[in-house]
Chains A and B, each alone.
Chain A
Amino acid sequence: MFQPRPMTHLLIAASKAQMASVVTELYRHQIFHITDFVDQGKEGYEGVKIGVPQEHAGDLSNDLLKIRSLESVFQTNPSTQSNVQIRPAETIRAAIDSELPKIDEEVSSLTVKRSNAETRIRECQQRINELKPFALVPLELDLYRGYGNLTVYAGYIEHDIEISFPHEKHYQAGKDGNFIVVFVESKNSAEVEKQLADAGFQTVTLPGESGTVQAAVDKYTVEKNEATKVYEDCNVKIVELKAKYADLLAACDEVLSCDVERAEAPLRFATTDEAFVIDGWIPADEVEKVVAALSQATGERVYVVVDSSEVEDTAIPVEYNNPSYAKPAELFMDLYSRPKYKELDPTIILAIMFPLLFGFIVGDLGYGLLYLLLALVLRKTLLKMGEMGVKAFFVIIGAAISTSIFGLLYSEFFGVSLPWHSIIFSRHLPIGAGMEHAMPQVIELLIISIMLGVIYISVGRFFGMINHYRMDHPGSHRTKAILSQFGWNLILWGILVLVLSVVDLNEYCQFPFALPTFVGIPTIAGIIGAVMIIVGCVFVAIENPLDLMELPTNTLSHMLSFCRLAAVGLSSVAIAMVVNFLAFDLFITPAMINLDVVGVLLIIVGVIILILGHALNVALGILGGAIHPIRLHYVEFFTKFYQGGGIIYKPFGLKRKFSEE
């Protein structure tokens, strides 16, 4: 909680003879994060080079390439493959050797045949299209060629023209263009060409076929149909093969991916002629297990060092260490940036507050249940998307439940009052029949929002102090940075004390508890507030006087920004109530009094307005309810303490779905 999983820096050294067993062992455990060795020619690293892949890596990659190309022919993807059957890796490797060439040959002969057929279809279609205009000319196709002193022109032209030389002309006006065929003596061809060009002539290729145009078109149509049949046959066969081999291919893909990754692992190691060193990180609680396993796998011919020297924060991989209920919120953290190793990880705050704020904003039982339904409908799709989808699913579920609960508290169901009065704050607006005297508790909602803002900003500054304490190097700079964070908090609270010394908020709103006020002691409170602000400004200025320029945005604007929680929520209620007003008060209720044909039509219009309006509001609710809380965290909260930019922990190894070693 608030901390990533503790990591230990390990250096594993052994002779090259042990490389395969070390790699296999590390791969099996899937917990070792390898730091890639970069050959920078540094002093003390003479003779150390990046390793070379194992000998069979090339063959494996070729096989993998074949499998991927088969998968692309079949249009399958192992990550979306559903009916998972786990097979031993050894049988799959045997299948790769025995069956893969067979499948490959079968599929490639089919694809070659298919692509030939496809080409033939295209060619025939093209010929048919090219012959089409000639069908209108009453000439056989042989007559277009084979002349000694005649030139033939055929093509499209803008308008009919008169040719000033002896000629034979066939002109046909048409929708797709005006088609013209001209026979002239070759000696006049240059002049005729010019005349034709002036009329926008575009030549087409003269046909090479014989007989009538129709006969040629028929011939090509028959050919095209035959090729189409072959094409479809190939497709059917490919689908059959897909059904037969998709599972096997997915498993082969996985096994080969694992094998290739292992075979190419030395590219990430530092090697000498005889030995190699693997540099990496491992969760601290797994060290003993892995070291013991390595010793056993190599017969104690491996040397493992735990390096406890100080390392740059950005070099340590970061794995979240959150309780299971906070895991979904890691989605929002990764969207922003993974925390650095020594930084406070605020995931848990997001995990608790995001659903609460979403509910606070949307807060409607009807919408909450709709979101729940939406989550259940999307369940399969989301769960298929892997870890991220699962997190998204639970984020939606959390938000939906919170929205429903807030709906019960606000007494709202699609903008309509539930049978009881709102339990916390009323958000009912004076819109529609029977609501004339509704009075939303705007001030209360705004004050609650701003109070939340004050808490958020103060906690953010406090976290900032902790982060500076832990991440900065000890010295005056660190002290100044911490003091500056404290100063900002003093300014914020000083402003609050000043405001409360002149305004008694209890006059404007009604809370079950009395809000603090200093109007009874305005002078003392005023002086205390002013002193807090001045001292705060001094603390901030000690670190950097220019920071004081941010005073309006960093305190007031960020605090007031939390008003959006109340404002966006009220606007969502307003839309819901307006939709209900339009649908019921203007269409449905009046139509119900005198039910006739027009009345039924009016009711239908009313229902359409109702559905479309609430659908719009549900969509806006997702946008407003989700983006605003996230933004409040990112902009108003994180900017106070959070940098991010940590390396994501990627353990060496692949999660297997279809195979087992």
Chain B
Amino acid sequence: MAIESLTVEAAQALASGYTAIGAGLAVGLTGIGTGLGEMSIGAAAVGATAEDRGMFGLALVFTVLPETIVIFGLVVALLLLFV
């Protein structure tokens, strides 16, 4: 079996590679999720703001709500890479 023939260094290298892939997936996938969420909110927010400029503050808040998802992804990636 290939796994049995791995040296310790190779195994560590493999592990850090997987960690990096995991971190990338964490940020990338959550980024897509955030994008999907913000897509429709953003469109509606722009519409609402065009109708009434006073809506801008609230519209901004609503638009950045899904951003939390990608931030959590980023936190997970940071924890994977540096802890």
Q: Which single member of B60, B68, B74, B78 contacts A557 (CB below 8 Å)? A: B68
Q: Which single member of B56, B64, B72 contacts A335 (CB below 8 Å)? A: B56
Which residues of B have CB within 8 Å of A560? Answer: 72, 75
B46 to chain A, nearest CB (A): 16
Q: Does B38 contact A (CB under 8 A)?
A: no
Q: Does A169 contact B (CB under 8 A)?
A: no
Q: Does A337 contact B (CB under 8 A)?
A: yes
Which residues of B have CB within 8 Å of A561? Answer: 68, 71
> Residues of A within 8 Å of B, CB-based: how many?
28
Q: Does A620 contact B (CB under 8 A)?
A: no
Q: Does B61 contact A (CB under 8 A)?
A: yes
Q: Is the Cβ of B71 less than 8 Å from the Cβ of A442? A: no
Q: Does B79 contact A (CB under 8 A)?
A: yes
Q: Is the Cβ of A564 less than 8 Å from the Cβ of B68? A: yes
Which residues of A have CB within 8 Å of B57? Answer: 332, 334-337, 634
Which residues of A have CB within 8 Å of B58? Answer: 336-337
Interface string of A548-585 (1 = CB under 8 A from B): 00000000010011011011101100000000000000
Q: Which single member of A337, A557, A570, A631 contacts B67 (CB below 8 Å)? A: A631
Q: Does A446 contact B (CB under 8 A)?
A: yes
Q: Which residues of B in the span 59-83 have a Cβ within 8 Å of any Cβ on A? A: 60-61, 64-65, 67-68, 71-72, 74-75, 78-79, 82-83
Knowing A564-B71, A567-B74, the reply to whether A442 touches B61 (Cβ < 8 A) is: no
Knowing A440-B82, A442-B83, the reply to whether A567 touches B67 (Cβ < 8 A) is: no
| Cα A560 to Cα B61 with chains together (Å) | 17
Q: Is the Cβ of B71 less than 8 Å from the Cβ of A631? A: no
Q: Does A199 contact B (CB under 8 A)?
A: no
Q: Is the Cβ of B61 less than 8 Å from the Cβ of A631? A: yes
A388 to chain B, nearest CB (A): 12
Which residues of B have CB within 8 Å of A442? Answer: 78-79, 82-83
Q: Is the Cβ of A563 less than 8 Å from the Cβ of B67? A: no
Q: Which single member of B60, B65, B71, B83 contacts A563 (CB below 8 Å)? A: B71
Q: Which single member of A336, A567, A570, A631 contacts B64 (CB below 8 Å)? A: A631
A498 to chain B, nearest CB (A): 21
Q: Does A38 contact B (CB under 8 A)?
A: no
| Cα A619 to Cα B36 with chains together (Å) | 23
| Cα A630 to Cα B72 with chains together (Å) | 18
Which residues of B have CB within 8 Å of A508? Answer: 83
Which residues of B have CB within 8 Å of A557? Answer: 68
A558 to chain B, nearest CB (A): 9
Q: Which single member of A563, A568, A634 contacts B61 (CB below 8 Å)? A: A634
| Cα A568 to Cα B65 with chains together (Å) | 15
Which residues of A have CB within 8 Å of B64? Answer: 627-628, 631, 635
| Cα A627 to Cα B63 with chains together (Å) | 11
| Cα A557 to Cα B56 with chains together (Å) | 25
Q: Which single member of B68, B71, B72, B83 contacts A443 (CB below 8 Å)? A: B83
Interface string of B43-60 (1 = CB under 8 A from A): 000000000000011101
Interface string of A428-464 (1 = CB under 8 A from B): 0100000000011011001000000000000000000
Which residues of A have CB within 8 Å of B75? Answer: 446, 560, 563, 566-567
Q: Which single member of A439, A571, A631 contacts B82 (CB below 8 Å)? A: A439
| Cα A443 to Cα B74 with chains together (Å) | 13
A463 to chain B, nearest CB (A): 18
A337 to chain B, nearest CB (A): 7
Most A CB contacts (10 A, CB to CB) among B56, B71, B74 go to: B71
Interface string of A15-26 (1 = CB under 8 A from B): 000000000000
| Cα A570 to Cα B78 with chains together (Å) | 9
Q: Which residues of A in the span 612-658 have a Cβ within 8 Å of any Cβ on B? A: 627-628, 630-631, 634-635
Q: Is the Cβ of B71 less than 8 Å from the Cβ of A635? A: no
Closest residue of B by beta carbon distance from A564? B71
Q: Is the Cβ of B74 less than 8 Å from the Cβ of A627? A: no
| Cα A411 to Cα B82 with chains together (Å) | 19
Interface string of B19-59 (1 = CB under 8 A from A): 00000000000000000000000000000000000001110
Most B CB contacts (10 A, CB to CB) among A335, A429, A563, A567 go to: A567
| Cα A36 to Cα B24 with chains together (Å) | 60
Q: Which residues of A in the span 325-346 have a Cβ within 8 Å of any Cβ on B? A: 332, 334-337
A466 to chain B, nearest CB (A): 23
Which residues of A have CB within 8 Å of B78? Answer: 442, 446, 566-567, 570
Which residues of B have CB within 8 Å of A337? Answer: 57-58
| Cα A317 to Cα B71 with chains together (Å) | 39
| Cα A336 to Cα B79 with chains together (Å) | 34
Which residues of B have CB within 8 Å of A335? Answer: 56-57, 60
B25 to chain A, nearest CB (A): 16
A554 to chain B, nearest CB (A): 13
B29 to chain A, nearest CB (A): 16
Q: Is the Cβ of B60 less than 8 Å from the Cβ of A627? A: yes
B34 to chain A, nearest CB (A): 12
Interface string of A571-614 (1 = CB under 8 A from B): 10000000000000000000000000000000000000000000
A339 to chain B, nearest CB (A): 13
| Cα A508 to Cα B83 with chains together (Å) | 9
User: Which B residues lie at the A interface, using CB under 8 A?
Assistant: 56-58, 60-61, 64-65, 67-68, 71-72, 74-75, 78-79, 82-83
10 A–B contacts, CB within 8 A, in A order? A337-B57, A557-B68, A560-B72, A561-B68, A561-B71, A571-B74, A628-B64, A631-B60, A631-B61, A634-B60
With A446-B79, A571-B74, A631-B67 already in contact, 16 other A-B pairs whose C-beta atoms are closer than 8 Å: A332-B57, A336-B57, A337-B57, A442-B78, A442-B83, A508-B83, A563-B71, A563-B75, A564-B71, A566-B78, A567-B74, A568-B74, A570-B78, A628-B64, A628-B67, A634-B61
Q: Which 5 A-B pairs have the closest CB atoms?
A: A335-B57, A567-B74, A564-B71, A336-B57, A442-B82
